[in-house]
């Protein structure tokens, strides 16, 4: 019996013992193509020699120094690299150990900014239903998956939610994508006015929604309107690019494709590519300057901020992505993956939608394509697909999502940026077999 507190205490898990390139290997010698990078983490695959060399070199010098005494070269160089490639206006980096912590930092800095600037009534955060922003209490409070929130609801901060921008389930048949995007964005303005515009601190959203909606990109113009609304009401825009950022969608930041920049942004997962636990908040110069002119301090720090070994790993990951122009590969092979997915699943009776960008794709499974009726939740189709895929040597990330009360199963693909066309072909072939086998088994 394991002494680890696993998420599912009734399940048993294979033991991962090794990995090379796009492949993970378990203790029984089975190998799996890692088509989801865990949860969109391992963007360089496993055992990348340049990352291992950078980590070895750093640990030979220094593993750790507390940030209340010292800064370190890897932390400073990583911050320089991130800001050199950041969306316009972002000037400073707070380095922590996970996505949830990066979101907590965004929420706290947003609130702190308003205290520093005398706008103390701004306490409300608005986010979207069906969203996931992490598991700590602040992050869960802005999260919009009611199932995750329910057991802890008495512990959470008040959160205000609007509808997600999720065309497959939300766009009316007589509506253009642009009109849908504006209609959804205008929900934010209505919510700000309802709460009182001088009481709202920030709006929090994932640029491309990952785990909960299966790589669902925003409608065209949605985020441009969101940016305008935030500016009009003095509300900060916090983008959660923990999953969709750092190259996953084919540009370094997903918001580049929306033509906007946030005031605060959370990144993690692909930042360190799984070689070290690391997350970060990127903050705008306007916010940091207000704090500098005011108290001069952001009262929010943690023991492992700017961890030198984690920063050395992340810096090496980001340098390899730039050196090898891997985002060009993400765009090229992402287009190939899209074609293959559409060939294999485009006419599938039980696939309602195929959506995504770059190396970030979701397919949504439905009992009936015409009515978009989801499968019965009791069938646990997502768990069956995960098992059927693993039995075929494939790791994918299936979720039982919900969309405004309508439950839908989807499979999320997040292959490493190094994947070539042959790997994409094998992923789609194995996924097709796994989906068919799981559905045949379930119904």
Nearest by Cα to 245 from 217, 273, 268: 268
CA dihedral 166, 171, 176, 180 (to 10 degrees): -60
Extract the tokens encoding 128.
Answer: 């979207």
- Residue 403 is a binding residue for ligand PMP (CB under 6 A): no
Nearer to ligand PMP, 181 or 279 (CB): 279
Name the helix (H) or strand (E) containing 280. Answer: strand 279-284
- How near is the Cβ of 205 to ligand PMP at its closest, in Å? 10
- How near is the Cβ of 209 to ligand PMP at its closest, in Å? 8
**Residue 284: helix, strand or coil by DSSP?**
strand
- How near is the Cβ of 265 to ligand PMP at its closest, in Å? 11
Nearer to ligand PMP, 242 or 316 (CB): 242
- How near is the Cβ of 132 to ligand PMP at its closest, in Å? 5
CA-to-CA distance for 97 and 101, rounded, in angstroms?
7
DSSP conformational letter for 154: G
- How near is the Cβ of 425 to ligand PMP at its closest, in Å? 27
- Residue 36 is a binding residue for ligand PMP (CB under 6 A): no
What track of x and - describes contact with ligand PMP for positions 114 through 143 (by CB under 6 A)? ------------------xxxx--------
- How near is the Cβ of 352 to ligand PMP at its closest, in Å? 22
DSSP conformational letter for 373: B
Please, which residues have CB within 8 angstroms of residue 201's CB and are 6 or more apart in sequence? 110, 111, 114, 122, 123, 124, 125, 235, 236
- How near is the Cβ of 153 to ligand PMP at its closest, in Å? 19
Place of tokens 């796994």: 434
Among 95, 126, 208, 243, interactor with ligand PMP by CB under 6 A: 243
Nearer to ligand PMP, 133 or 183 (CB): 133
8 A C-beta contact, residue 78 and residue 95? yes
Give residues 87-106 in contact with ligand PMP (rule: CB under 6 A). Answer: 98-100, 103
DSSP conformational letter for 95: E
Give residues 244-283 in contact with ligand PMP (rule: CB under 6 A). Answer: 268, 279
What is the side-by-side strand order in the sheet with 23-26?
Answer: 16-20, 23-26, 31-34, 394-395
Nearer to ligand PMP, 99 or 356 (CB): 99
Give residues 152-211 in contact with ligand PMP (rule: CB under 6 A). Answer: 206, 210-211
DSSP conformational letter for 174: T
Nearer to ligand PMP, 107 or 428 (CB): 107
How many residues sit in the footprint of ligand PMP (CB under 6 A)?
17
DSSP 253-280: SGGGGGT---SEEEE-GGGTTTSS--EE
CA-to-CA distance for 272 and 312, rounded, in angstroms?
9
Nearer to ligand PMP, 166 or 430 (CB): 166
- How near is the Cβ of 212 to ligand PMP at its closest, in Å? 8
- How near is the Cβ of 164 to ligand PMP at its closest, in Å? 12
Nearer to ligand PMP, 281 or 442 (CB): 281
- How near is the Cβ of 439 to ligand PMP at its closest, in Å? 26
Nearer to ligand PMP, 124 or 133 (CB): 133
Nearer to ligand PMP, 181 or 245 (CB): 245
Beta bridge partners of 206: 240
CA-to-CA distance for 248 and 243, rounded, in angstroms?
8
- Residue 39 is a binding residue for ligand PMP (CB under 6 A): yes
Nearer to ligand PMP, 316 or 412 (CB): 412
Nearer to ligand PMP, 201 or 242 (CB): 242
Please, which residues have CB within 8 angstroms of residue 360's CB and are 6 or more apart in sequence? 40, 208, 210, 215, 244, 248, 249, 334, 412, 413, 414
- How near is the Cβ of 221 to ligand PMP at its closest, in Å? 22
Handedness of CA 134, 136, 142, 144 (dihedral sign): positive
Place of tokens 């921008």: 165
Number of residue whose CB is nearest ligand PMP: 99
Phi, psi of 248 (to 5 degrees): -55, -35
Give the rounded distance of the alpha carbon of 206 from its chain centre.
7
For binding to ligand PMP (CB under 6 A), which residues are involved?
39, 98-100, 103, 132-135, 206, 210-211, 240, 242-243, 268, 279
């Amino acid at each position: 019996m394991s002494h680890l507190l696993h998420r599912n205490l009734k399940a048993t898990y294979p033991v991962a013992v090794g990995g090379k390139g796009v492949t993970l290997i378990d203790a029984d010698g089975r190998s799996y193509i890692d088509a989801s990078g865990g949860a969109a983490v391992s963007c360089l695959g496993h055992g990348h020699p340049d990352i291992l060399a950078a980590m070895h070199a750093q640990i030979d010098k220094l593993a750790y120094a507390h940030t209340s005494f010292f800064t370190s070269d890897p932390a400073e160089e990583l911050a320089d690299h991130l800001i050199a490639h950041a969306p316009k206006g972002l000037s400073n980096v707070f380095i922590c150990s996970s996505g949830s912590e990066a979101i907590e930092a965004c929420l706290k800095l947003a609130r702190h900014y308003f205290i520093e600037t005398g706008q103390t009534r701004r306490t409300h955060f608005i986010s979207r239903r069906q969203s996931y922003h992490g598991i700590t209490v602040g992050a869960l409070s802005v999260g919009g998956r009611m199932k995750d929130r329910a057991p802890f609801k008495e512990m959470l901060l008040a959160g205000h939610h609007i509808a997600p921008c999720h065309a497959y389930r939300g766009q009316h048949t007589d509506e253009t994508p642009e009109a849908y995007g504006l209609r959804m964005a205008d929900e934010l303005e209505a919510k700000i006015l309802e709460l009182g515009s001088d009481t709202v601190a920030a709006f929090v959203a994932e640029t491309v929604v990952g785990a909960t909606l299966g790589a669902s990109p925003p409608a065209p113009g949605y985020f441009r309107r969101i940016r305008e609304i935030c500016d009009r009401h003095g509300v900060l825009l916090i983008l959660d690019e923990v999953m969709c950022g750092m190259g996953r969608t084919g540009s370094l930041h997903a918001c580049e494709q929306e033509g906007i920049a946030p005031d605060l942004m959370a990144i993690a997962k692909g930042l360190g590519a799984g070689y070290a636990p690391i997350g970060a908040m990127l903050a705008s110069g306007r916010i940091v300057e207000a704090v500098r002119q005011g108290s001069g301090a952001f009262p929010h720090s943690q023991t492992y901020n700017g961890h030198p070994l984690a920063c050395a790993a992340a810096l090496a990951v980001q340098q390899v992505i730039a050196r090898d122009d891997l985002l060009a590969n993400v765009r090229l092979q992402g287009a190939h993956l899209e074609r293959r997915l559409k060939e294999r699943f485009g006419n599938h009776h039980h696939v309602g939608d195929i959506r995504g960008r770059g190396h970030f794709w979701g397919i949504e499974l439905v009992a009936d394509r015409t009515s978009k009726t989801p499968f019965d939740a009791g069938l646990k189709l997502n768990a069956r697909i995960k098992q059927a895929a693993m039995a075929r040597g494939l790791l994918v990330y299936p979720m039982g999502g919900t969309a405004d009360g309508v439950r839908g199963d989807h499979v999320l693909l997040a292959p490493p940026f190094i994947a070539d066309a042959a790997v994409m072909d094998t992923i789609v072939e194995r996924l097709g077999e796994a989906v068919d086998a799981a559905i045949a088994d379930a119904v």
